[in-house]
Amino acid sequence: MVQAKVDAMKLGSGSVRRYLKQVQLGIFALAALVAAAAGVVMLSPKPQAQSQPAPQAQPEQAPAQPASPPLAVKPVTTQPIAPEAQTFVPPDPELESAWADKLREAPDYRAFFNRMRADFPAEWTQSLRDASAEGGLRKPEGVDLLMSLAVQAARAKSGLLAARAGGPALDRLFAGQRAVARQLATSDSALCLDFLNGAAAQRFTLFAATHRALMAGQALAGLDAIGDGAKARIQRETPTQADFDQLEKALREKGLPSEAIALLLDGKQPATPIPDDKACNNGVVYLETLARLDEPARMRLYALAVTLMAHD
């Protein structure tokens, strides 16, 4: 039953209204600037029928864009997976020089960029090249584009290590996620849903450009979790049935109505769509509730969420 819950966390969805069925809580929400934000993994407490195995992915075909929920389920493991071999990218002093003025425009990002150079030199150089190819040197928000590409590169190489970080590092990582969601909830509920849903949104680039300290803090928390996981190497168990039950109970105690909880935890659409502002607030409540679970359950759920994020 628990494995079915875990599998259900990987089900895809099509519309923004199903935002909490697909979204993936993870290390680096800044990836939304170029592809999809690392949003919120919603934890489905109801196991799927064993007679309905996940459809097999078809090779050499574009992924389907469903108009209704779940098409596929990915297997999930909490065991470490060796990253694929990375192509060596040599340093590029000329490229660094070309970006020097642009980087000085964003002092809030300085600590993150310095960490990227030190810990992920090849990924940093490739991010500079990719950002340049996308016109980053000419765009006012070019440094935000670079930030997002660097975040994505670090996640792709070593994101799995963050799932093995200690409790304080994981708590800081998810605190950054909550901070971004809360800020969006006060200013743009539609963009808040895009963020939670993991949907690409060009407007998120502008949000990042005007909230650089907030976004830099979240990205640094991701690098910290990766570094901590590399040292701690904590192996956590898969979340239990009791963990999921505890989360559902806590959401009810927060005053969420049954239809909101059914959407959050089961992906069940209400008869009347939930307005964007309420749906965004429900997502924020979900993150806050998850943060208040007892530590063993919280850490198991956090570690699984980060593992799922790193698999994508």
Bigger pLDDT: 205 vs 99:
99
Domains in the chain, number = 2
Distances (CA, A) of 118 to 108, 127, 232: 17, 14, 20
- In which domain, by residue range, is 103 found? 93-232
Within a domain: residue 182?
yes
Q: What is the pLDDT of residue 197?
A: 72
pLDDT in tens, 101-156: 999 999 999 999 999 999 999 999 999 999 999 999 999 999 999 998 999 899 88
pLDDT in tens, 5-32: 444 443 322 222 232 333 333 333 333 3
Is 116 in the same domain as 173? yes
Is 189 in the same domain as 282? no
Q: What is the pLDDT of residue 90?
A: 74
pLDDT in tens, 47-74: 343 444 445 544 554 443 332 222 222 2
Average pLDDT over residues 274-297: 95
DSSP state of 238: P
Is 100 in the same domain as 220? yes
Looking at 166, 198, 232, which one is the last position of a domain? Answer: 232
Is 181 in the same domain as 302? no
Is 204 in the same domain as 278? no
Is 133 in the same domain as 189? yes
Place of tokens 């990915």: 74
Amino acid of residue 82? A
Within a domain: residue 4?
no
Within a domain: residue 196?
yes
Looking at 178, 206, 232, which one is the last position of a domain? Answer: 232
Largest CA distance in the chain: 59
Average pLDDT over residues 71-90: 43
Closest residue by Cα to residue 136 from 34, 36, 211 = 34
Average pLDDT over residues 66-94: 46
Q: What is the pLDDT of residue 241?
A: 87
pLDDT(293) > 70: yes
Is 215 in the same domain as 255? no
Is 196 in the same domain as 110? yes
pTM confidence score:
0.72
Within a domain: residue 155?
yes
Place of tokens 């407490």: 45
Is 220 in the same domain as 250? no
Within a domain: residue 21?
no
Bigger pLDDT: 241 vs 168:
168
Output the six-digit token pair for 175.
């605190």
Confidence label for 266 from pLDDT (cuts 50, 70 and 90): confident
Quote the mean pLDDT of the chain: 76
The dihedral formed by the CA atoms of 54, 174, 192 and 218, expressed in degrees to the nearest 10: -120
Q: What is the CA 263 to chain-centroid distance, rounded?
A: 19
